[in-house]
Homo-oligomer: A and B are copies of this chain.
C-alpha cells in the first residue's frame, strides 16, 4: 500500500540472509542507488540495520530489543479473552483459562455458563492440580525430571472415587495427555462435573496456558461434552497462533 515503506521493509529479509552493500541492496530492490541509500539511512536511524566496519549493512540490534520487549508485554489473558467469549457463545458452557505458576495451576480468566446450573470456581484461585484437565495439560509439558519431582511432592485427595489416586497414576495420565494433545476431567473433582481441555502454545511450541469447557452432567452428559473437543482444540489453536503473532490476516484487501 505504501511504496516507500514497502521497499524499506523489503530490505530487512534481504539483509537477514547476510550482510550486503549499497549496490547489492539497490539491485535486489530494483531501485536507484540513491534511493536505496536513503531508505537504509532511515532504517539505520531507527537501529533496524547496522553498518559494519567494511561499510556493509546488516540487521541491527534494535530488532532484537523490540522483539524482546514485545514478548515480555504479551498477555495471554488479553489475547485469549475474545476467543473464550466466542466459544462460550457457541456452546453456552463455562470456559476457563489457566496457567502454571510456582507449582500451582491458577485460573486467570473465566466466562460464565449461560445455563442456570453453574459450577463454582474463582479467577485467581489454585485449581485441584491432580484432577483438573487444564492442570494435566500444563504439567504434562514440563521436562521429565521436574514433572516426576512435582508429581511425587503432590497430595492426592480423593475428592471422588474417580480422582487420581497416586503419583504413578498421575504420571501415566500425564503421559497420555502429552501424547494426545488434550485432556479431560470426568467427575474427578466434583462427581457431577466434566471438563474437556486443550493446550495453548507459544511460538516455541511450549505450553503456556490451557483452556477448558466445563459442564455439570445434569446439563450435558460426558459423551455430549466430548463432541465439543474439536471446537475447543480449534479455539486453543487460534489463540496459540495469535499469541505467537501468526494469526490469520484480518485486513480486508
Contacts and interface: CB of A to CB of B under 8 A. Distances in A.
A203 interface: yes
13 contacts: A1-B42, A2-B42, A5-B43, A41-B251, A47-B102, A50-B245, A53-B242, A55-B250, A60-B245, A64-B67, A64-B70, A65-B124, A69-B124
Interface of A: 1-2, 4-6, 8-10, 12-13, 15-19, 38-39, 41-48, 50-55, 58-74, 78-79, 82-83, 99, 101-102, 104, 106, 108, 122-126, 203, 242, 244-247, 249-251
A42 B251 CA distance: 11
A57 B89 CA distance: 24
Contacts of A44: 249, 251
Nearest to A249: B44
B5 A63 contact: no
Contacts of A46: 6, 9-10, 12
